[in-house]
Structure 1
């Protein structure tokens, strides 16, 4: 089985080629990590689509919130997951129904789901687990 990406060069490559990011578990609350990460990613020029079924149609950092990945009106390069590990499988299942497929599944700090990672990698997606792009970007891109 292919391993999730842990190599700095590969993570740097992901951060360089990604343009559109679906941020699953987005929150409008400034104290929530997803809120800060979304603001950071937007500040670096990424196009970020917040996904949260309970906030559908609302706005976070000027971006309309979508209920589901399939509601986003354009292809997504990366799915950044701010959901507990036990919910990652459902997010990956939904991601694998998208056309075209995203290129990357990124699980945030403290989030790991090996079964979901394996499922995504079988379909050719890159997977990063237990890392935060808002930490990796300044570390690797400066």
Structure 2
């Protein structure tokens, strides 16, 4: 997509987004029991770097907290503004979260490394939401926010 709001290939805009993000909802977060998986340790890294991480797991219906934070079942249920929704879902599964993402109105939706869905990205961009696809938020945070 050439739209200015799909900033996947715009290093300066990615850097600005990463540096300015204070509240990140992690859609598809895993629990401490899966601490060796990116869907947990990326969120753990971000929390350790001083970012407020809001867990939005897809599975684990009995889990009430992850990383010591209250779990929400939908991104739209998270109170207050969200800077980034960091998505850990397979590309083909992202479409199932489109309505929730649109209702939540985050500043940006970030699809992790290996995750792309151009149709969903286009709809988000049309709604005025920044999109980053197929990049690791932990890697970019380390690069642009100066930790680790």
Q: TM-score, normalised by structure 2?
A: 0.87
Is 1:78 matched up with 2:81?
Answer: no
Dislocated runs of 4+, deviation >6 Å: none
Deviation at 1:37, TM superposition (A): 0.4
Aligned length: 140
Provide the secondary structure at the position in 2 that maps to 1:131: coil
Alignment map for 1:51-66 (pairs within 5 Å): 51-56=56-61, 57-66=63-72
1:43-65 Cα shifts (integer Å, max 9, x gaps): 11111111114335522111122
Is 1:2 matched up with 2:8?
Answer: no
- Asked if the contact 2:25–2:56 (Cα under 8 Å) also holds between the matched residues in 1, the reply is yes
Provide the secondary structure at the position in 1 that maps to 2:36: coil
Aligned-partner Cα distance in 2 for 1:45–1:95: 24
Q: TM-score, normalised by structure 1?
A: 0.91
Aligned-partner Cα distance in 1 for 2:131–2:103: 17
RMSD value, Cα? 1.5
Alignment map for 1:59-138 (pairs within 5 Å): 59-98=65-104, 101-138=105-142
Which is bigger in relative contact order (C-alpha 8 A, separation at least 6)? 2
